[in-house]
Structure 1
């Protein structure tokens, strides 16, 4: 099966993914997530992790995250094409399944690491929403064959 990549759909799904991340980790669950991962700003300037001073590098993770969002979009385009789920609903359901699998894997890893359950809830919900939205965008927005 010849899959055509709709790069505009990949761009939109990347921007949507970045927005979802901002909403989850920068707006909706910021404080709960910081507590769950042990981050604190006792003076509202300097960060500590489990009481130890740290220096955050916001640029490198953001670059890697952007590249991953593009890769997720390309992967979901391929997967929706391979499975014949070439509609928004089909892509969303496939994305939800992938999001649930990632959430479950993350939760098990967090259990072994004795991380707070809230971390699994936040990260799991993020992945569920993220892949559902990416799947809906790339599944429903197919490139027309010439």
Structure 2
């Protein structure tokens, strides 16, 4: 009988790494696999520390929200992403630390991140939209 293998996300360090890659996807505007290559390959110079986050950021982010006065925020996000994607897994932070750092960067307390409308809002909209039919 074949033995069961653990899933690729079997340890905390790999989850933190994946989260860092998701943050990098968001900030760069690129998907994990796009344009025929992997994000890790495209962003290798960033991951090695040769380029800054602002150098690989999606230009649409700065166009829609100018980075003037936000360089500290981008620099702090740079640090979070780099720590999450550190090649040495033992040096990666735990997720509670990542969450704390992101809360500080965004200056958003946990209760501000929760939806302000009913958790059933989308269901309520669906009912309302079908009542007129």
Q: Same fold (TM over 0.5)?
A: no
- Give the TM-score taking structure 2 as reference length: 0.29
Higher relative contact order (CA 8 A, sep 6+): 1
Give the structure with the higher percent helix: 1
Q: Which has the larger radius of gyration?
A: 2
